[in-house]
Amino acid sequence: MIDAHHHLWDLNAVDYPWLMEKGKKRFFGDPTPIQRDYLIDEHIKLTAAFGFKASVHIQVGAVDGLQEANWVNKIINENQSWPMVQVAFCDLSSDQREIQLDELQKLSSVVGIRQIIGRSPAEDANSKTNELLTSDNFMQGLQSISDRGLSFDLQIIPELSEACAAVVSQFPNLQVILCHAGSPYNRTEEGIKSWTSDLYHLSNLSNVSCKLSGLGMFDHNWTQSTVSPIVTTVMKQFGPERVMFGSNFPVDSLSSSFKELFERLTNIVEEKCLEDVFFKTAQRTYFPNLSYG
């Protein structure tokens, strides 16, 4: 199995201001318990116990995205027995974009780019990241990574789905992976209904796949029954061949143990779909040359 969305950090090697800010709660909760190093040995031990044998590292807000990517690449090279690739950060709207992408592609582990567009309504109002959707430079950046054969990890909130779909539809050859099931932060009946409707804009595009990840970020008391409507909706709209599992650890360790996360999702996903969701979709997306005997 492949964990298609997780993070690592060494607080002495890379600077993460958002993570180390003291006393400030984020949209995913109080980060205090994860304000410590989270390294590859811990993640392997945690996930291998449940049968995982490979993973995808996702950029996580370092001051210097290239520094983070170089550190992750070093970790990958030092742990050859654990196949891992990375989705790095690049500001696709920057005038320095092509230089940044050239540097990132010198690292053999870089297979994609993530530039967050939406996190939560409160934080997005301050970050102005939504403005990327109307940026000509950002559009040029998406074309560039498509031409380079890189994928794009898309993180948004549901209200941005329609606008994002209008953008993504212009790049049919770009492989887009929707993070965290599109961030259904409103868990009321009406909120889930609205998210379900919004999700269709993206699920109708054949080049978009979806991660079952980050399900605990907006509800730390989540249970199998509370997220079942989210999981079943994603499965119905995308189909198992376009859905993959991601732990989002260590962030989601704030809302559940890995055992709870894994068991709840495997109980919801139909048995015939488990191989796609926990292995094949991620393999096709991130590890086209990976196979197990």
Can you tell me the distance from the alpha carbon of 156 to that of 178, in angstroms, rounded to the nearest whole number? 8
The pLDDT score that the predictor gives to residue 126 is: 65
Q: Give the pLDDT confidence score for residue 122 in this predicted structure.
A: 72
Q: What is the pLDDT of residue 124?
A: 67
pTM for this structure? 0.95
Can you tell me the distance from the alpha carbon of 191 to that of 186, in angstroms, rounded to the nearest whole number? Answer: 5
Residues 6+ apart with CB under 8 A from 16: 9, 60, 61, 62, 63
Torsion angles phi and psi, residue 2, rounded to 5: -125, 130
Q: What is the pLDDT, as a whole number, of residue 24?
A: 81
Pick from 136, 78, 140: which is nearest to 109 by CA? Answer: 78
Write down the CATH number for the domain with range 2-286. 3.20.20.140
Domain ranges (residues) in the chain: 2-286
Q: In what order do the strands lie in the sheet with 151-154?
A: 2-6, 54-58, 84-88, 110-114, 151-154, 176-178, 208-212, 243-245
Interval 202-259: pLDDT, tens? 999 999 999 999 999 999 999 999 999 999 999 999 999 999 999 999 999 999 999 9
Distance of CA 92 to the CA centre of its chain: 17
Q: Say which residue the tokens 């550190």 belong to.
A: 71
Whole-number Å distance between alpha carbons of 129 and 126: 8
Q: Which amino acid is at 207?
A: N
Return the half-sphere exposure (C-beta side, CA atoms, 13 A cut-off) of residue 285: 36
- The answer to whether the CB of 186 falls within 8 A of the CB of 226 is no
Three-state SS sequence of the chain: CEEEEECCECCCCCCCHHHHCCCCCECCECCHHHCCCECHHHHHHHHHCCCCCEEEEECCCCCCHHHHHHHHHHHHHHCCCCCEEEEECCCCCCCCHHHHHHHHCCCCCEEEEECCCCCCHHHHHHHCHHHHHHCHHHHHHHHHHHHHCCEEEECCCHHHHHHHHHHHCCCCCCCEEEHHHHCCCCCCHHHHHHHHHHHHHHHCCCCEEEEECCCCCCCCCCCHHHHHHHHHHHHHHHCHHHEEECCCCCHHHHCCCHHHHHHHHHHHCCHHHHHHHHHHHHHHHHCCCCCCC
Nearest CA to 33 out of 265, 291, 257, 293 is that of 257
CA dihedral 177, 159, 21, 62 (to 10 degrees): 30
Q: Are 131 and 125 in contact (CB under 8 A)?
A: no
Say what the pLDDT of residue 33 is.
92
pLDDT per residue as tens, the chain (293 positions): 999 999 999 999 999 998 888 878 888 889 999 999 999 999 999 999 999 999 999 999 999 999 999 999 999 999 999 999 999 999 999 999 999 999 999 999 999 999 999 877 776 666 666 788 889 999 999 999 999 999 999 999 999 999 999 999 999 999 999 999 999 999 999 999 999 999 999 999 999 999 999 999 999 999 999 999 999 999 999 999 999 999 999 999 999 999 999 999 999 999 999 999 999 999 999 998 765 54
